[in-house]
Structure 1
């Protein structure tokens, strides 16, 4: 994945094979604070480009190992930004050509952390001009701002998908799902598309208003 930064979030790495694939596919790798402990447990020989955060979670043993490998351990104590946000900002400053973030472990665990990750989908694209993909053990999630044609190969994704508005309401039209809709209004005060299923190799989504698209993997 050209010009892609892998951001490792502090969640258990359940599928190590998928993690290795993501590690190898990305150009650069950033680790959030306590996620360095997880990376250490998975494979202490893997060398990220940097570790960043308020550093209240990384253990002394982990920090000593990576500093010994020459990995920058960057302390950013500000409580007005999350470690996730700090990592993305640091990445675009280091690598101005960054086109995409793959946040591994960004969903799951604490609900407030997951809500922040979803909020970042729109904010990062608007403020940094970078696409954000949120990975969890069960799903891949990303923003569709206007229209998208999503490749859904059966060897990479499963059937279940959901489409939810991220700001106010949206009107969506879909093709390639078992329950396709046309100019269908969705909002958190009316109705949200969940438990839909893929029936084609491509899913097309047209929307008036940004939506979050999530697919089971």
Structure 2
């Protein structure tokens, strides 16, 4: 059985020492219509992303696709204070001399900095001024209002896979913000997308935690960044019970344990090592707490 390596180093500043796995990954960023995590600007300016409108128009990495859910309601996307914190970090790292105050950043148009490549969804609650705002900036708007059988996240993942059919999925990860919190049926729908696209690396993110799928087709090695995540974690069987799950690196490791709803589910576990291993005969959800930014 092949080994799949996981890391949440996208939560770390680009200047932090990274591992080989981190440097080898390419990311796409999807923003859904929920309260976005405070660290969203960090994801946007991560080294694997390309800043089409950064100062000096400098490409930082190989590829970025940034998608907005069609329901996103406010063009600025981030509070001014969060934008400035994120830009200060970029300024310090790049040695850029910029004058800014609480409401504008001179020499840099903030809204261009946070310009998505695509807005895609069923458009059932999007404001026309939002669409016009980003359309005028050159963002592609893909209206799929004729499809009421799939969620906006499903539409976005399908779009990404469609525009990059030849991309090596082992070195590609889709980061999704706004996927957790709010209505539970929305959360369940987003978790279902992880199973619908089980061969694509997808990470759901909130201020409190992250979730991704551990497919049963692989052994898994999770590299934990204690400066940004942990120690609380969980392994949850979804869809089918697990007859045998074995782990290392947790306070309460599993040894050929059976997990199912109505029986044992490994919640409120604690990460004890920088490397956690998981092997199971069923698909599992891995979740770990995110430290406050």
- For 1:84, what is the secondary structure of its paired residue? helix
| Matching residue of 1:109 | 182
- For 1:87, what is the secondary structure of its paired residue? helix
Query: Number of paired residues?
Result: 211
Whole-Å separation in 2 of the counterparts to 1:190 and 1:141: 21
Match of 1:179 among 227, 252, 256: 252
Of residues 1-10 and 38-47 in structure 1, the stretch that sits farther from structure 2 once superposed is 38-47
In structure 2, runs of 5+ residues without a counterpart are: 1-21, 50-63, 79-109
- For 1:159, what is the secondary structure of its paired residue? strand
Whole-Å separation in 1 of the counterparts to 2:195 and 2:267: 20
Residue 44 (structure 2) pairs with residue 23 (structure 1): yes
Q: Structure 1-normalised TM-score?
A: 0.91
- For 2:40, what is the secondary structure of its paired residue? helix
Deviation, 1:34, is 1.4
Of residues 60-69 and 21-30 in structure 1, the stretch that sits farther from structure 2 once superposed is 21-30
Matches within 5 A, 1:49-88: 49-77=117-145, 78-88=147-157
- For 1:41, what is the secondary structure of its paired residue? coil
| Matching residue of 1:164 | 236
Greater fraction strand: 1
| Matching residue of 1:202 | 275
| C-alpha contact (below 8 Å) 2:37/2:206 kept by paired residues | no
| C-alpha contact (below 8 Å) 1:10/1:38 kept by paired residues | no
Residue 184 (structure 2) pairs with residue 118 (structure 1): no
| C-alpha contact (below 8 Å) 1:40/1:62 kept by paired residues | no
Whole-Å separation in 2 of the counterparts to 1:38 and 1:205: 41
| C-alpha contact (below 8 Å) 2:37/2:177 kept by paired residues | no
Residue 77 (structure 2) pairs with residue 41 (structure 1): yes
Whole-Å separation in 2 of the counterparts to 1:138 and 1:205: 22
Distance 1:73 1:213, change over 3 A: same
Residue 169 (structure 2) pairs with residue 132 (structure 1): no
Deviation, 1:155, is 0.7
Residue 216 (structure 2) pairs with residue 143 (structure 1): no
- For 1:158, what is the secondary structure of its paired residue? strand
* Runs of 4+ with deviation above 3 angstroms: none
Residue 46 (structure 2) pairs with residue 10 (structure 1): no
Deviation, 1:39, is 5.2
Distance 1:79 1:141, change over 3 A: same
- For 1:89, what is the secondary structure of its paired residue? helix
- For 1:215, what is the secondary structure of its paired residue? strand
| Matching residue of 1:189 | 262
Q: Looking at CA atoms only, which structure, 1 or 2, has the larger radius of gyration?
A: 2
In structure 1, runs of 5+ residues without a counterpart are: none
Q: Structure 2-normalised TM-score?
A: 0.68
Whole-Å separation in 2 of the counterparts to 1:118 and 1:54: 19
Whole-Å separation in 2 of the counterparts to 1:211 and 1:60: 40
